[in-house]
A and B are shown apart, each in its own frame.
Chain A
Amino acid sequence: MDISVINSIKDQFNKNEATYLSSSLSHRKSALDFALLHNFPSRKNEEYKYTPVDRILKKKFDFEKITTSKTTALHFEDHFYKLKGNHLVFLNGNYLPARSELLNDVCCQSATDSDQSFKDVFDALNVAFCENSLKIEVSENYRPQPFFIYYFYDSEQGQVFGNPNTQITAHSNTHIQILEKTISTGNYPVFINKKVSVDVKANAEVNITKIQNYKKHVFQVYNLEVNQDTQSKFNSNVYSFEGGLIRNNLSINQLGEHCESHMHGLYLIAGQTHVDNHTAVNHTQPHSYSNELYKGILDENSRAVFNGKIFVRPEAQKTNAFQSNQNINLSDEASIYTKPQLEIWADDVKCSHGCTVGQMDEEALFYLRARGIGKNQAKALILIAFAKQSLEYIPFEFVKEEIDTLIRKRLIG
């Protein structure tokens, strides 16, 4: 890392030190040391070849100018969905239990220390800087109301470096639905280094839906790590519309037999938005299943990157794994980099992946126009139909509507 960046980060840590729990300090300091010994990934790093975080941050974010303000003019409750559920609030990367509304009897604590280990620079920075993390634990056989987690960022006073951390444990036979949303205000750049870990125990089901509609000056690296036990189910749905950088790392470890994982994503991007979805599913036991579908429509100068890894270990016989990435490129200035990846060591399996990049279906376009529908409207209809396929798996009706509106807005204007 650049010496100036190192110093700015060290400064920032020192300014925050007083707010950290003293018992956590030594661990945080080790994390900080680890982070500063490493670099933000660059083009030379295979996994970040098309998303050089170091360069992006260097150009767009200044660690020296991070604001120390802890107040905000935001009225959190105004942004809550008018629905029965648990509404949890983060501000600038810290969980605020006092401003959250818990409905269910679930263990929902804030943790001011961390025993997390750190494997890369993002992990380490998250451990060092996250003041208050959120731990949700749902006990066996319990079915709580949905969790709405709102990540607020206020960069009115200066740049914000947020490190939210959420840990979710779903014990046996539970069923958890989570909706994540980010709301930002202010014009200074925001760099979000987000970490969410999910533990899905036997026979449990967790469903996470994420809406990513940020501003141009918001840059996010989001690491979502999931461990699944026998007979569990995990669903991830991510919808990305705008942002300076949206890098989603999703890693799923299927540790038991008969696990099921579904991953759906949609990116509808324009302007200079850069979305990068990196997913990895690790099948380690027999009779497991995974299904992935990511769709994208790119316009203007946007850039989309997709890398889906499927690992099938030697013991994971009778695994079925399917993956598909479909892209429509509307502009000559937009670029798509996709790399579906299969690493298979078991033979009694069914695995396939496919990806397409192209334009709209000309036949369909002509059909609509031949029925009297104007060209632009026909295009919009086709694109909307293309995009909406990924909405099928969202468990919340209102969210489907919200995303539908966003889609129409982007495609029709």
Chain B
Amino acid sequence: MSTDDQVLEEFTSKEYEHGWSVDFEADEAPMGLNEDIVKFISHKKNEPEWLLNWRLKSFRHWSQLEEPKWSNVHYPKIDYQVLKYYSAPKKGGNIKSLDELDPEMIKTFERLGISLNEQKRLSGIAVDAVIDSVSVATTFKETLSELGIIFCSFSEAVLEHPELIKKYLGSVVPAADNYYAALNSAVFSDGSFCYIPKGVRCPMELSTYFRINAANTGQFERTLIVAEDDSYVSYLEGCTAPMRDENQLHAAVVEIYAAKNAEVKYSTVQNWYPGNKEGLGGIYNFVTKRGICAGDHAKISWTQVETGSAVTWKYPSCILKGDYSVGEFYSVAVTNNYQQADTGTKMIHLGKHTKSRIVSKGISAGKSQNSYRGHVNISKRAIHSRNFSQCDSLLMGNQCGAHTFPYIDVENSSSQIEHEATTSKIGEDQIFYCKQRGLDEESSIALIVNGFAKEVMNNLPMEFAVEAQKLLALTLEGSVG
């Protein structure tokens, strides 16, 4: 057997580490989706009238839309009526201290390597933990609130800070934006809310950890981050889900609002269950993420390491409205076995002297399909703007595919755009060179792949860069975990 075949064989041997599930007592909505379910969800959360109306409007809009078919992914039609749209662990949410938390739940998070114990200040990262659709705990809340920073679950924010939610919800991703955004706007259950007041630099990384646990539920989080003038926050999102034979739907919306001189760094390490070696099961990850650089000199930076999901459809985007604003997108997307990813970014330049930078690294293995879809739009008014895009694909084996679809629209004469894409494979010579220096096959590939993805990895907050590197190597060993 040739080296390549041997290597590929090894790839499909390990298993998804996080495939276990736990039996919590859960509070669930009946199956199906209609206006009653929407009201059920809103009622469960004690939401004010205006929010219920917002949901209903979104639902009505969704009912009239058709699921988009233009992406390069194929999956059996989703029957939206056989999913449950609300499932909350009974002992969770609205807790005052960690003691109240279901011990099973604490164990869950420890198993995932997430520390909910504030006493363990080793990592110094504030965590908002969300199981299924409900935020179960948020750490360091008091410390942060002393600085005026609000970091809590979305549901809590609706009750405690309704004026902020009302002002910003839907301002970056309106409900009518697309099919999944509309769905999310109708049935979103929880997520995180983060508000950084003027001039404040958030002293610690903020992080949300999502975990889908219950079967047959869709996960619809809604995250909203608002950074006022001159503020800074770095935010990390991580996710896992148990192994199940059926596909599970995850349709999230993340909105970021950056005011003048504000900077928001949003990093994602996505590790949803990708389906088994035969392509059975796995998460459908359809996400709308968008940030608006509303003020001059604002900066939003998206960094993502995508290794999971059976089907991924996500385009974290930046609307560069303020003059001199900056949008960045760094991504490593790995697909193996039967995974399909259609991911990329949109950079919409509206303001003058705006800059965007896109670095996308795709790694395809097995029988997977990995597509980059990007849109750089330089509008007429966005004079003196610049964009640089680099999309590289690494193919492992000849049963997978790597595709790039970059759209570039330029409507003025003073802007500079550069786009480059390359496709390559790991050379036998490179592997032999590493082996001759004592590295075994797996280590050689891990080294080369990490070198390939380095530029993106360097943009992750240090604590997560190491995790992400390990994840990358493990993914390519056939597991995702």
A344 B423 Cβ-Cβ under 8 A: yes
Residue ID in chain B nearest A50 by CB atoms: B409
B403 A332 Cβ-Cβ under 8 A: no
Other-chain contact of B417, A331, A351, A356 (Cβ < 8 Å): A356
A353 B411 Cβ-Cβ under 8 A: no
A126 to chain B, nearest CB (A): 29
Q: Which residues of chain B in 407-458 are interfacial with respect to chain A, using CB atoms and an 8 Å cutoff?
A: 407-425
B420 A46 Cβ-Cβ under 8 A: no
Q: Which residues of chain A in 352-385 are interfacial with respect to chain B, using CB atoms and an 8 Å cutoff?
A: 352-359
B412 A343 Cβ-Cβ under 8 A: no
Residue ID in chain B nearest A346 by CB atoms: B398
A352 B413 Cβ-Cβ under 8 A: no
B403 A340 Cβ-Cβ under 8 A: no
Q: Roughly how many angstroms separate A335 CA and B413 CA in the complex, as a whole number?
A: 8
B410 A348 Cβ-Cβ under 8 A: no
A292 to chain B, nearest CB (A): 13
A341-B413 contact given A349-B423, A352-B421, A356-B418, CB 8 Å threshold: no
Q: Roughly how many angstroms separate A354 CA and B417 CA in the complex, as a whole number?
A: 10
B418 A359 Cβ-Cβ under 8 A: no
B343 to chain A, nearest CB (A): 15
B420 A353 Cβ-Cβ under 8 A: yes
Q: Roughly how many angstroms separate A356 CA and B408 CA in the complex, as a whole number?
A: 10
A329 at the interface (CB under 8 A from B): yes
A341 B70 Cβ-Cβ under 8 A: no
Other-chain contact of B419, A345, A348, A356 (Cβ < 8 Å): A356
A352 B404 Cβ-Cβ under 8 A: no
Q: Which residues of chain B in 360-397 are interfacial with respect to chain A, using CB atoms and an 8 Å cutoff?
A: 378, 380, 383, 393, 395-397
B399 at the interface (CB under 8 A from A): yes
Chain B residues with Cβ below 8 Å from A312 are: 423
Chain A residues with Cβ below 8 Å from B380 are: 332
Residue ID in chain B nearest A299 by CB atoms: B413
Residue ID in chain B nearest A353 by CB atoms: B421
Q: Roughly how many angstroms separate A312 CA and B70 CA in the complex, as a whole number?
A: 21
A347 B413 Cβ-Cβ under 8 A: no
A350 B406 Cβ-Cβ under 8 A: no
Q: Which residues of chain A in 126-141 are interfacial with respect to chain B, using CB atoms and an 8 Å cutoff?
A: none
A336-B406 contact given A46-B70, A345-B400, CB 8 Å threshold: no
A335-B423 contact given A342-B404, A344-B403, CB 8 Å threshold: no
A335 B409 Cβ-Cβ under 8 A: yes
B407 A337 Cβ-Cβ under 8 A: yes
A330 at the interface (CB under 8 A from B): yes
A344-B401 contact given A352-B423, A354-B418, CB 8 Å threshold: yes
Q: Roughly how many angstroms separate A329 CA and B395 CA in the complex, as a whole number?
A: 35
Chain A residues with Cβ below 8 Å from B404 are: 340-342, 353
A336-B409 contact given A342-B421, A350-B423, CB 8 Å threshold: yes
The A contact surface, by secondary structure, is strand
Q: Roughly how many angstroms separate A346 CA and B424 CA in the complex, as a whole number?
A: 10
A347 B395 Cβ-Cβ under 8 A: yes
Residue ID in chain A nearest B413 by CB atoms: A329
Other-chain contact of B401, A336, A343, A356, A357 (Cβ < 8 Å): A343
A348-B425 contact given A329-B412, A337-B409, A354-B419, CB 8 Å threshold: yes
A343 B403 Cβ-Cβ under 8 A: yes
A352 B422 Cβ-Cβ under 8 A: yes
Other-chain contact of A345, B396, B401, B405, B411 (Cβ < 8 Å): B401
Chain B residues with Cβ below 8 Å from A350 are: 422-424
Chain A residues with Cβ below 8 Å from B417 are: 355-358
B402 at the interface (CB under 8 A from A): yes
A329 B418 Cβ-Cβ under 8 A: no
B413 A359 Cβ-Cβ under 8 A: yes
Other-chain contact of B420, A317, A327, A352, A357 (Cβ < 8 Å): A352
B398 A348 Cβ-Cβ under 8 A: yes
**Which of A330, A343, A359 has the largest number of chain B CB atoms within 10 A?**
A343
A317 B398 Cβ-Cβ under 8 A: yes
B183 to chain A, nearest CB (A): 23
Chain B residues with Cβ below 8 Å from A347 are: 395-398, 400, 425
Chain B residues with Cβ below 8 Å from A353 are: 404, 419-421
Chain B residues with Cβ below 8 Å from A330 are: 413
A334 at the interface (CB under 8 A from B): yes
Q: Roughly how many angstroms separate A348 CA and B429 CA in the complex, as a whole number?
A: 13
**Which of B378, B397, B404 has the largest number of chain A CB atoms within 10 A?**
B404
A344 B409 Cβ-Cβ under 8 A: no
A337 B420 Cβ-Cβ under 8 A: no
Chain B residues with Cβ below 8 Å from A332 are: 380, 383, 411-414
Other-chain contact of B416, A336, A349, A359 (Cβ < 8 Å): A359
Chain A residues with Cβ below 8 Å from B420 are: 352-354
A408 at the interface (CB under 8 A from B): no
Contact with A along B201-225 (1 / 0, CB 8 A): 0000000000000000000000000
A287 to chain B, nearest CB (A): 15
Q: Roughly how many angstroms separate A358 CA and B419 CA in the complex, as a whole number?
A: 12
A351-B408 contact given A331-B413, A332-B380, CB 8 Å threshold: no
Chain B residues with Cβ below 8 Å from A345 are: 398, 400-401
A338 at the interface (CB under 8 A from B): yes
Chain A residues with Cβ below 8 Å from B408 are: 336-339, 355, 357
A359 B414 Cβ-Cβ under 8 A: yes
Q: Roughly how many angstroms separate A350 CA and B407 CA in the complex, as a whole number?
A: 22
Chain A residues with Cβ below 8 Å from B405 are: 339, 341
Chain B residues with Cβ below 8 Å from A349 are: 395, 423-425
Chain B residues with Cβ below 8 Å from A341 are: 403-406
Q: Roughly how many angstroms separate A340 CA and B70 CA in the complex, as a whole number?
A: 17
Residue ID in chain B nearest A331 by CB atoms: B413
Q: Roughly how many angstroms separate A344 CA and B414 CA in the complex, as a whole number?
A: 34
Chain B residues with Cβ below 8 Å from A339 are: 405-408
B407 A354 Cβ-Cβ under 8 A: no
A340 B412 Cβ-Cβ under 8 A: no
Q: Roughly how many angstroms separate A399 CA and B380 CA in the complex, as a whole number?
A: 37
Other-chain contact of B422, A314, A337, A338, A351 (Cβ < 8 Å): A351
Chain B residues with Cβ below 8 Å from A359 are: 413-414, 416
**Which of A317, A342, A352, A359 has the largest number of chain B CB atoms within 10 A?**
A342
Residue ID in chain A nearest B375 by CB atoms: A339
Q: Roughly how many angstroms separate A409 CA and B393 CA in the complex, as a whole number?
A: 43
Q: Roughly how many angstroms separate A358 CA and B418 CA in the complex, as a whole number?
A: 8
Chain A residues with Cβ below 8 Å from B412 are: 329, 332
A264 to chain B, nearest CB (A): 19
Q: Roughly how many angstroms separate A350 CA and B396 CA in the complex, as a whole number?
A: 13
Q: Roughly how many angstroms separate A339 CA and B443 CA in the complex, as a whole number?
A: 37
B410 A336 Cβ-Cβ under 8 A: yes
Residue ID in chain A nearest B396 by CB atoms: A347
Q: Roughly how many angstroms separate A250 CA and B418 CA in the complex, as a whole number?
A: 24
Chain A residues with Cβ below 8 Å from B423 are: 312, 342, 344, 349-352
Chain A residues with Cβ below 8 Å from B406 are: 339-341, 355
A339 to chain B, nearest CB (A): 5
B411 A335 Cβ-Cβ under 8 A: yes
Q: Which residues of chain B in 280-322 are interfacial with respect to chain A, using CB atoms and an 8 Å cutoff?
A: none
Q: Roughly how many angstroms separate A355 CA and B398 CA in the complex, as a whole number?
A: 27
Residue ID in chain A nearest B399 by CB atoms: A314
Residue ID in chain A nearest B409 by CB atoms: A337
Chain A residues with Cβ below 8 Å from B419 are: 340, 353-356
B413 A354 Cβ-Cβ under 8 A: no
A345 to chain B, nearest CB (A): 4
Which 9 interchain pairs have the tightest Cβ spacing? A347-B395, A358-B416, A357-B417, A352-B422, A351-B423, A329-B413, A354-B420, A347-B425, A343-B403
Question: Which of B's residues lie within 8 Å of A, judged by CB?
Answer: 70, 378, 380, 383, 393, 395-425
Known contacts A342-B404, A353-B404; 11 additional CB pairs below 8 A are: A314-B399, A340-B421, A341-B405, A342-B423, A343-B403, A346-B395, A349-B424, A351-B423, A352-B421, A355-B417, A357-B408
* 29 residue pairs from A and B, CB less than 8 Å apart: A317-B398, A330-B413, A331-B413, A332-B412, A334-B413, A335-B410, A336-B410, A336-B411, A337-B409, A338-B410, A339-B406, A340-B406, A341-B406, A342-B421, A343-B403, A344-B393, A344-B403, A349-B395, A349-B424, A351-B422, A352-B420, A352-B422, A353-B404, A353-B421, A355-B406, A355-B408, A356-B418, A356-B419, A358-B415
